Each structure stands twice: as C-alpha cells, then as structure tokens.
Amino acid sequence: MFGYYFDLALRSLKRNKTLTALMVLAIAVGIGASMTTLTVMRLLSGDPLPGRSQHIFYPQVDPDPANKDSDEPYDELDYHSAVDLWSAKRADRQALVVSSPIKVAAPGSDVPASKLDMLSATADFFPMFGVAFQYGGSWSAEDDARHSRVAVISADLNNKLFGGRDSVGRTLRLRDKDVRIVGVLAPWRPSPLFYEVAGGRFAHGHTDGFYGKPEDVMTPFFTGMDLNDGNFYQFTCWQVPERPGYLKDSPCVWVRLWVELADAGKADDYRRFVASYAAQQMALGRFSHAGNTRMRNLTEWLDYNGVVPSDVRLQTWLAFAFLAICLFNTVGLLLAKFLRRSGEIGVRRALGATRGAVFAQCLVEAGMIGLLGGIAGWLLSLVGLWLVRHQPVAYADMAHLDVSMFAVTFVLAVATSVAAGLLPAARASRVAPALQLKTL
Amino acid sequence: MDIRPILAALRRHRLATLLIALEIALACAVLCNACFLIVSRLDLMKVPSGVDESSLAQLRLDCDGCNESDLNARALSALRTVPGTQAAAVVSSLPFGAPSGYAGITLDPPGQAERHYGTVPHFYAGGPAAAEAIGIRPVQGRRFSSADFQPSDGAWLPLDAPVWITRPLAEHLWPGKNPLGKDFWSDKYHFRVAGILDHLAQPEPGARGVATAQWSIFLPMAPGRQLAGNYVIKAAPADLPRVLRDARAALIRAVPEGVLDLDQSQTLGDLRHRYFRNDRAMAGMLVGVIAALLLVTALGIVGLASFWVAQRRKQIGVRRALGATRSDILRYFQTENFLIVSFGIGLGMVLAFGLNLALMSHYELPRLPLYYLPIGALSLWVLGQLAVLAPALRAAAVPPVVATRSV
C-alpha cells in the first residue's frame, strides 16, 4: 500500500511543478535556517565534559569586607583562600587555575618571540578534565611542590615552534627563564573554555569570548607564580592593590579552584568544609562575613554565567519563528494542492477508498515534500554553517554539521511537513464522493 | 468597490484565509522586531568616540622589565621622527582598544559610614599633549596646565587629580547640577571635575549596556610607572596607513627587547571596525532573514492566489459574461488580498508587541517604537499587492466564454 501511495505522490508532485517547488523551497529555507542555528546552539550549550561535569565543582568564598552575607560572592578567589582550600586536599582531585600573558620564545627556533597566554595550574588539572597528550605527559604533584621549571604546550604551539615533532625535553623561554617541555597536548578544544568562565553575569550577553581556544603554554601553578609575578590581572579588587600585577597579598580576587567530588555525599561534605573555612577565616578576622559561600557544579556554573551568547539565542528564536512562517506557508499550499484534486479524490472514494486511505496518501505526499525539503534544507544548512565559519566569532572554527545533526535535519524536515500536511489531509479526506462526481 | 461579496466569498475559504492571515501576522511581528534590532545595532555602531578617529593610530608595546621612563623616551622620539607624524603621545588606552581601567567611584570620601556609590566608569590617563593629539577639548571648564601632570602613586593614578568627564556621566552622577568643581573618589584616590567633554566613548562602548557607552573619565598624568607602552600617533588621514606601518617598524627598532602587540597597534578606524564586527555580522544576518521572510511570504501568497484563481475560473467567466471588466476582476483579487493582509497585520501588531516584550525581558532591548508598526504594515501591504498581481492578471485574462463551458 505504501509503495502505491509513494508512486501516487511522485506523480502528483510531478504534475504541478511550480506548487511543489514552492513548498519544497519553503520547507528547505525554514529547515536550513533552523538547522544552522540549532547546530550552533548545540555546539555552544553542550556539556564540555560529558560524563564528568556533574562531579566537577567550583567553590566560592567572599573575602570582600564591604559585601554582606546576602550578596553573591565574587566569581574568583583571592590567593590565600584558593591556596588554603587547595592545600587542605579535601576533594578527590583539585586544581588551582590562573592565566596570565607572558613573552614566549623557543631558543633555536626562527619564530620570533610573542606574547601568549600562559595557564598555570596544579597537576590534577589534566586527569580531572580528561586532557589527552600527544607526546610526554603532565607534570607531577612533586613538580607543583618543587616549583619545577617545566611546561606543557598545546598541539598548535608545537606545530608552530617545532613543526609538530616530539618536542618533549626541548627548552622554552618564558619571559626570561628557561623551562623544559614535558608534554604536548593532543588537539583539545573544549566548548566553552569552561575552566576560564567567570563574570558572565556582567557581560550583557557578550559571551562569545568564552568559546576561545585553550592557552598554548601551561606551567605548574607555583612555577607560574614565580615566572610571571607582576604580570597577573585581577578579576576585581575591593581596594587598589599596592603593587599592580603582584597579587599574592592583594585585596583582589584572581585565582580559580576546581574540585572533583565523586558523589553527592562528598559534595555535601565539601560544601560544609568550605563553609567552615569561611567561618574560621571570619573568626581570624580575615573575612568580615561567612554566610555567602557557594559551590556550583560545572553545569550550574555555566548556566549561572549565561555562557550562550545572547546573539546566538536570538538567532535561534528568529530561525524558529521563520520555520513557523514557512510551515504556515506549506499548510496553505498543501491545502491548495490537495483540494485542487478534489475530483480525483472523489473518484477514489467512490471506487471504495476509505477516508483513512485518502488521509494516508496525502500524508505520504506531504512527507515526500518534507524529504525533498530536507535534502535542500541540508544543503542550505551546509551553506549556513559555512557562513558561520566565516563570521568573526571565537567559536567559528567549531561550526560543523555532525552525523546526529544531519539525521535531525531530515527528521525535522519530514516531521514538520507531515505536521503541516495533517490539516490539509484531513480536509481532503472529508471530500464527499458524490458531490465531486456530479461536477465531473 | 463593494467588499461584501468578497467577504462572503472569503467566508467559504475560512481555513485558507486564516492561514495566509496567520502567516502575514507572524511575518509582521518578526519583520518589525528584526528591523528594530538592525536599527539598534546600526545605532550602536555609530557611537561617537569623541576622538579624532580618522587621523589616529594606536601602538602598543610590551616591554617586561623595561624602565618605563626610558621606554617612553625611546618610543616617543622614534615615533616623532617618522615622516608624516603630526603628534605622538602616551595615553593609557583609546576608544575601541584594550581597556586600561574600569573602577567604581563614590561621591563621598573614604571612611564615611554611609557612602554614595556612583558607578563604574572607565579611566583614561594621558600624558602631556595627549588630549590635543587625540582631539578632545572640554566644552566647559578648563584645559590642563603643566602642573596638572603628576606621576602615579606607583599603583594606579595620582592620588589627587583634576579630571574631565563626559556630559552623560556627569548627568548620571549629579543630575541637573553643574558638575564643574565636584569631587568624587575611587578607593583612596580623589578627583575633581575640571572640565566637561561632549563625548569620550569607553574602550568597549556598549559592552556594559548601551547607556554606559560614554561613561569615561580623562585625566592628566606624567608618563612613567602605570603610564607607558601605549602610544597614539596623529597623521593626515590619507597618510595614516603608511605612517602607522613606518611607526611600527621604528618602534621595533627603537625598543628591540619589547614585543609589539600587533592586534592593538592599528588605526582607530580599524580598531572600531573590528570592535563592531559581531554587530555588523548580526545586522547582515538579520537583513538576510528579512529578505528570506518576505520572499517566503510572497511565494505563499502567489501559490494560494493561483489556486484560488484556478478554482474560480468558471465564476470569473460568468462575471465577465455579465459585463464585469478586466479591471473589475483585477481589483476584486487585489481587494481580497488587501483584506486578508489587513487582517493579518492587525493580528501581527499584537504579536509584534508580544515578541518585543519577550525580547525586552530576555535581551535588554528597549521598547519597540510605535512607528515601526505602520512601516511594517505598509511593506506587507505592498508585498501582498505585488504577490497577488500575477495571479490576478491571469484571472483578469479569463475570457467570458469560459462561462459557457461545462468545466
């Protein structure tokens, strides 16, 4: 039966090419626009650490004496709180993270020195965030403690400085100190760059900076402190620091701490630990209040920072409004198309076809239009994503249609066109056989 | 023309009529709001920087461990010897460049129990001749004297400094009052308003909301610690690209141990262009959406109108045989389209406002100005009339003899 309907649908589509083309075009344009934005949306709002993110937490305390217990704490930590919480080793894994610009050169390479961002983190950073290595490996906890002059570099920088060869053991010059390369990362592009996310609530939706590339140079946290002291930037300060850039004892927040906690019980324990730390600091007189500590998990932290840029969300809404318009259009055209064949439907009904059969046949035809629209829409979304890749945005290089979105394109196209066909098909199946035969 | 018969006929096609009207309504809502979004972006992109943009370029040099005074002296003398340079000065940052200092200010001195919090403006610090070089002068108040150029306290700015502030910032801090001579503080730093500027945009205008784009403060400071490494050069607009290229080379020669920040060492025109590239891309995308939207809507009208014409061939023939002229038939279809589109527009205006309310709450947009509605309505009427023209002409071409045929 389906084969027969399929054949009928094909014939019907061929009979009125203009109307068919109009419908396919309408579906295609709607699908193309919504799939483009949906792909970008999925790229930007996805989980950067699938399977792990619920175990990753971001503790916050509030050292600002001017704040009250009812305020949100700052988005980053002051050096002392961060190092205290880290040194307590109360989590399964924990990483201090800070980034700063530094002059990087490779002795023996003809690439000139450049200013790059350096990530300084403690050793757990790599296993905690599942970062893979191409050559070598990460530094150890002893390297952290010994302030070892070692570094890990990105695949990009390794390509640039060493032509992609195994550079483990080579020397890198950071500012004016030599460090030994111990590892080269495999290409790594988390989306968003989650461990750098902070301050999103002040960004007024201009958050595409969160989707930039990871730092090219990584050093142990305390080594980074030694190498680049004087060049650190604060997230914010509640007093102007005595020596700008030297932030260890400053009234500023500028360091982040990420912890991994395997289950809800451990998370609750850690929450209590953070609260008791704040209370203890208040007793010591370093904090003026202890009530506003927070610990969000990774997903909650990204939500809190509203990481998806407002432009992208706006584009998605627009695209779906557009799809709705295309859908109305298709409903109207399908109605015209089916009712124009009232005579033919009347004959079929008179010859014994049930209403259900007419209805099914109409839906098969609508589905075929959807399939054709899906193919054209898929091509249009490839064009759309090509356009996105040529936009001056930080996430441009990541905009590609993957297999699942390819499948979604066709499912969405067929589903919308069948939905659009429901009403016209119902109308067509109600055509009274006798009335139509009379006019023939 | 009597519209009653048209309404009666439309009543027999309620579903199709409703569908077109709904399509028009949605199109109207999206069209009005998309146009409004485009205009808001274009307005933002036109934000006046307050400086003499077309003849300025910025150069930024990182020199770790350099002596700041020595660095400034070497850099400025190198920049001033570049042929075509009309002026060169040290300035902490420039509009559309990297920001140098946002800081919260209070209107009362530190130590007061109840402090009146002002806002978070951007602080520009400029060396001698910087204001002249970038082309800002107070419209009220005084110019800076050489005694005003004090060194920083080592951490940020001079502890006590005269400043120029922009009129929008003054109006925010002291609404309706004369801001000249007023005091404000940031941490322990004390400032007194010496002059009012019409415009001086923040380095990232609009990044903290459109209203704050001009919330800037400019103060004189002696070059040295906290004011080094960022330079502005002025040249005739036609010469500027060449002068900038030569200036970059001269700077690298004069300070070989430094690293020139190429990203920031650009003409102000290029910096502005780059700053607004997202907004430009978004505006372009919205224009594309509008074009596609109008196209799809028009195609829908063409399709349905063609169907109606085909369905009513016989009736049209009868009317023609009874004496209706071609223009009567043409006018019939155009009036019919006008009625449907008007119905859609009526619905669309309500939708447009609903959509705008949703956008306002989610994207901090201002309210949709009322004049967008008639513009949107007019464009949809024109679109509808144009789209129905071809089917209507085909209808008008139906010969009266059709009335005598059986089908």
Q: Is the peptide bond before A192 cis (omega within 30 degrees of 0)?
A: yes
% of chain B at pLDDT higher than 90:
63
Q: What is the mean pLDDT of chain B?
A: 91
Distance from CA of B238 to the nearest CA of A (A): 27
Q: How far away is chain B from the Cα of A424, in angstroms, using its nearest Cα?
A: 9
Q: What is the enclosing helix (H) or strand (E) of B368?
A: none
Which among A101, A240, A313 has CB closest to B156? Answer: A240
Q: What is the pLDDT of residues B332-355, one digit of tens each?
A: 999 999 999 999 999 999 999 898
Give CA–CA dist A319/A31, Å, rounded.
Answer: 9
Residue B407 has pLDDT above 70, yes or no: no
Residue linked to tokens 């089917």: B391
Hey, what are A46's tokens? 């996805």
Largest CA distance in chain B: 102
Task: Give the pLDDT band (50/70/90) at residue A130.
Answer: very high
Rounded Cα–Cα distance for residues A116 and B187 (Å): 32
Q: Is the pLDDT of residue B159 over 70?
A: yes
**Which amino acid would we find at residue B60?**
R
- Interchain contact, A322 vs B292, CB within 8 Å: yes
pLDDT at A99: 96
Per-residue pLDDT, A439: 55
- B95-118 per-position pLDDT tens digit: 999 999 899 999 988 877 667 788
- The first and second tokens of residue B19, run together, are 């569908």
Residue of B nearest to A427 (CA): B15
> How far is the C-alpha of B43 from the C-alpha of A330, rounded, in Å?
36
Average pLDDT over residues B12-17: 82
Selected residue of B31, B114, B259 to mutate for chain A interface (largest A Cβ count, 10 A): B259
Residues of B in contact with A29 (CB under 8 A): 292, 295-296
Sequence-ordered list of residues with C-beta below 8 angstroms from that of A4, at least 6 positions apart, any chain: none
Q: Shortest Cα distance from B315 to chain A (angstroms)?
A: 14
Residues 223-242 of chain B whose Cβ lies under 8 A from any Cβ of chain A: 226
- What number of C-beta contacts closer than 8 Å exist between A and B? 142
Please compute the mean of the pLDDT values over residues B298-314 and round it to a whole number: 85
Confidence check: pLDDT of A440 > 60 = no
Name every chain A residue with its beta carbon within 8 A of the beta carbon of B310. Answer: 340
**For A27-46, what is each residue's pLDDT tens digit?**
999 999 899 999 999 999 98
Dig out the tokens for A389 from the structure. 């890749």
User: Mean pLDDT, to the nearest integer, of B112-126?
Assistant: 86
Q: How confident is the model over A194-215, as pLDDT tens digits?
A: 999 999 988 888 888 899 999 9
As a whole number, the mean pLDDT across chain A is: 91
Task: Judge whether B392 and B334 are in contact, CB under 8 Å.
Answer: yes
CB contact, 8 Å: B286 with chain A?
A: yes
* pLDDT of residue B209 exceeding 80: no
Cβ distance B285 to A315 less than 8 Å, yes or no, reads yes
| pLDDT for the residue numbered B114 | 67
Surface of B (181-200) touching A: CB under 8 A: 186-189
CA-wise closest residue to A66 among A252, A238, A293, A247: A238
The nearest CA of chain A is from the CA of B82 a distance in Å of 24
CB contact under 8 A, B359 and A314: yes
Q: Residue B37 and residue A314: Cβ atoms within 8 Å? A: yes
Task: List, as one string, the DSSP characters of A124-152.
Answer: THHHHTT--EEEE-PPPHHHHHHT--EEE
Bridge partner list, A184: A135, A153
Predicted local distance difference test score (pLDDT) of residue B1:
60
Interatomic CA distance for residues A168 and A180, integer angstroms: 8
User: Which pLDDT band, with edges at 50, 70 and 90, does B368 fall under?
Assistant: confident
Helix (H) or strand (E) holding B237, with range, is none
Q: What's the CA gap between A22 and A26, in Å, rounded?
A: 6
Give CA–CA dist A80/A247, Å, rounded: 10
Average pLDDT over residues B52-77: 94
Sequence-separated (6 or more) residues with CB below 8 Å from residue A17: none
- Calpha distance A191→A302 (Å, rounded): 11
Q: Which residues touch A341 (CB under 8 Å, ≥6 apart)?
A: A12, A428
- Across the interface, of A115, A329, A331, the residue whose CB is closest to B62 is A115
CB contact under 8 A, A328 and B300: yes
3-state secondary structure string across chain A: CHHHHHHHHHHHHHHCHHHHHHHHHHHHHHHHHHHHHHHHHHHHHCCCCCCCHHHEEEEECCCCCCCCCCCCCCCCECHHHHHHHHHCCCCCEEEEEEEEEEEEECCCCCCCCEEEEEEEECCCHHHHCCCCEEEECCCCHHHHHHCCCEEEECHHHHHHHHCCCCCCCCEEEECCEEEEEEEEECCCCCCCCHHHCCCHHHCCCCCHHHHCCCCCEEEEHHHHHHHHCCCCCCCEECCCCCCCCCCCCCCEECEEEEEECCCHHHHHHHHHHHHHHHHHHHHCCCCCCCCCCEEEEHHHHHHHCCCCCHHHHHHHHHHHHHHHHHHHHHHHHHHHHHHHCHHHHHHHHHCCCCHHHHHHHHHHHHHHHHHHHHHHHHHHHHHHHHHHHCCCCCCHHHCCCCHHHHHHHHHHHHHHHHHHHHHHHHHHHCCCHHHHHHHC
Helix (H) or strand (E) holding B13: none
Is B155 in the A-facing interface, judged by CB distances under 8 Å?
A: yes
Lowest mean pLDDT across A9-18, A25-34, B237-246: A9-18
Residue A242 Cα, gap to closest chain B Cα (Å): 6
Per-residue model confidence (pLDDT) at position A67: 87
Strands (E) located in A122-248? 133-136, 150-153, 171-174, 177-185, 217-220, 236-237
- pLDDT value at position B406? 59
Residues of B in contact with A65 (CB under 8 A): none
**The pLDDT of residue A81:** 97
Within 8 A of B209 by CB-CB distance, chain A residues are 204
> Which H or E run contains B18?
helix B14-45
